[in-house]
């Protein structure tokens, strides 16, 4: 599908500087632009590329002033915030690729399930008993949705995802391929023989509205009650969230993070990759946790931590500086000891 520079400017409230009729049919990074591509420039580090790009249209900030001549074939669209506007266009572009409403062959929908309007169900997907699917939902091929599940309006579930019984998925959520929502929590108790006896996990998982779940991430059902991922939370790929965990509004965590059972994570928390959290902890609002940190205790709100075991990030950096200098310190200490021994021997 083609769009003119003038049409794009209308979508993002921009001003055209160049040929308003030039058309684009694809998106590209500015350094990889080709004829017919739309790019953007927001970071000054990439400005050098705009003077030699082959893109036909580039979105720039209103404050952009070329330091060198621009390609004759390049048309600019000037906006207040190039990055935000390009993100808006990406979202618009993504909606154009949305699957047309239909139910493909070999999919199974139980007779007791309630299905909304304008939904897409891909081939070989399964929708269980008494499940409720809202309007404008996209369920891609090979998705399994168990009994008594609720899926809110506008949610997208990508191929191979699994949602176990009784779980609640909010509106406009995105669940990527291979994600598992509602598998049993890791609950076992040793008996008198030292053998592990399984503790039934009878709770569920609740994803509130606008939650994103990355590929191959797992969110365990609660032992009792609910594991809850609150509105706007963003979970990266390969994340493990244990039973009865609560993740706050607009909290984001990067890949390979693991959170043990019953830990409560606050609102607007940022968690780097490969972070591990012990169970039954409380992480305050607006906490920032650096990658590969090990969290073994509660973390107060508005703090930054790093390391394993994690502590205040400023103190960690100072401590790490000392650690890096340790070989030099030991060498100097050895020299001082040798000098003391020599002076003692001489006297």
Give the DSSP H/E element, type plus range, for residue 332.
helix 326-346
Q: Token pair of 192, please? A: 């008198």
pLDDT by residue, tens only, the chain of 347 residues:
789 999 999 999 999 999 999 999 999 999 999 999 999 999 999 999 999 999 999 999 999 999 999 999 999 999 999 999 988 888 887 877 788 999 999 999 999 999 999 999 999 999 999 999 999 999 999 999 999 999 999 999 999 999 999 999 999 999 999 999 999 999 999 988 899 999 999 999 999 999 999 999 999 999 999 999 999 999 999 999 999 999 999 999 999 999 999 999 999 999 999 999 999 999 999 999 999 999 999 999 999 998 887 778 788 788 877 778 888 888 888 888 888 888 887 66
3-class secondary-structure state, position 149: coil
- Largest interatomic CA distance in the chain: 99
Q: What is the DSSP letter of 159?
A: T
Residues pairing with 101 in the sheet? none
Q: What is the sign, positive or negative, of the torsion defined by CA atoms of 321, 322, 326, 331? A: positive
Chain centroid to CA 276: 17
Q: Which of 203, 205, 260, 262 is nearest to 233 (CA)?
A: 205
Burial (0-12, 13-18, 19+ Cβ within 10 Å), 206: buried
pLDDT in tens, 193-251: 899 999 999 999 999 999 999 999 999 999 999 999 999 999 999 999 999 999 999 99
Question: In which element (H, E) is residue 203 found?
Answer: none
Tokens representing residue 278 in the block: 């012990």
Q: Tens of pLDDT along 325-339?
A: 888 888 888 888 888
Cis peptide before 221 (omega within 30 of 0): no
Closest CA to 107 of 131, 132, 139, 136: 139
Is residue 230 classed exposed, middle or buried when 0-12, 13-18 and 19+ CB atoms within 10 A define those classes?
buried
Find the distance separating the first CA and the last CA of the chain, reported in whole Å. 92
Cα separation, 205 vs 167, whole angstroms: 5
In the annotation, is 243 catalytic?
yes
**How far apart are alpha carbons 28 and 40 in whole angstroms?**
8
Helix axis angle for 5-12 and 82-96, nearest 10°, is 110
Cβ–Cβ < 8 Å for 119, 139: yes
What is the rounded distance in angstroms from the CA atom of residue 204 to the CA atom of residue 227? 6
Predicted TM-score (pTM) of the model is: 0.81
Q: Tell me the CA distances in angstroms from 73 to 58, 245, 313, 333, one per residue in order.
A: 11, 54, 49, 67
CATH 3.40.190.10 fits 102-315, yes or no: no
- Rounded-to-10 torsion of CA 17, 89, 272, 228: 150
Enumerate residues 6+ apart whose C-beta is below 8 A from 264.
245, 246, 281, 282, 283
**Cis, peptide link before residue 309, omega less than 30° from 0:** yes
Torsion of CA 226, 227, 232, 233, to 10 degrees: 170
CATH architecture of 3-96: 3-Layer(aba) Sandwich (3.40)
- The residue among 245, 210, 249 whose CA lies nearest residue 228 is 245
How do the domains of the chain map onto residue ranges? Answer: 3-96, 102-315, 322-346
Catalytic one among 176, 243, 280, 347?
A: 243
Using CA atoms, how far apart are residues 56 and 262, in angstroms rounded to an integer? 53
């Amino acid at each position: 599908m083609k769009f003119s520079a003038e049409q794009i400017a209308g979508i993002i409230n921009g001003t055209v500087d160049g040929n308003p009729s030039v058309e684009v049919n694809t998106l590209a990074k500015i350094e990889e632009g080709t004829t017919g591509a739309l790019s953007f420039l927001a970071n000054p580090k990439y400005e050098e590329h705009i003077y030699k790009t082959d893109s036909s249209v580039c979105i720039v900030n209103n404050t952009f002033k070329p330091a060198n001549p621009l390609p004759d074939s390049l048309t600019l669209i000037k906006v207040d915030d190039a990055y935000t506007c390009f993100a808006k266009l990406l979202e618009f572009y993504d909606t154009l690729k949305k699957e047309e409403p239909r139910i493909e062959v070999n999919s199974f929908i139980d007779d007791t399930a309630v299905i909304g309007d304008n939904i897409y169900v891909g081939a070989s997907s399964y929708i269980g008993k008494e499940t409720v699917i809202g309007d404008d939902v996209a369920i891609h091929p090979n998705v399994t949705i168990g009994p008594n599940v609720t899926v809110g309006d506008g949610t997208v579930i990508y191929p191979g995802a699994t949602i176990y019984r009784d779980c609640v998925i909010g509106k406009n959520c995105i669940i990527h391929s291979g994600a598992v929502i509602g598998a049993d929590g890791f609950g076992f108790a040793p008996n008198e023989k030292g053998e592990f006896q399984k503790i039934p996990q009878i709770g569920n998982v609740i994803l509130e509205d606008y939650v994103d779940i990355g590929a191959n991430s797992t969110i365990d059902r609660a032992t009792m009650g609910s594991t809850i991922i609150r509105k706007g939370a963003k979970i990266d790929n390969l994340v493990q969230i244990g039973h009865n965990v609560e993740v706050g509004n607009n909290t984001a965590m990067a890949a390979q993070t693991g959170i043990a059972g019953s830990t409560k994570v606050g609102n607007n928390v940022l968690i780097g990759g490969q972070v591990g959290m012990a169970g039954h902890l409380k992480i305050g609002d607006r906490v920032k946790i650096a990658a590969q940190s090990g969290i073994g205790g509660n973390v107060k709100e508005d703090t930054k931590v790093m390391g394993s075991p994690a502590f205040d990030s400023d103190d960690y950096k100072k401590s790490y500086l000392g650690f890096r200098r340790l070989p030099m310190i030991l060498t100097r200490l050895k020299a001082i000891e040798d000098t003391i021994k020599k002076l003692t021997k001489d006297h």
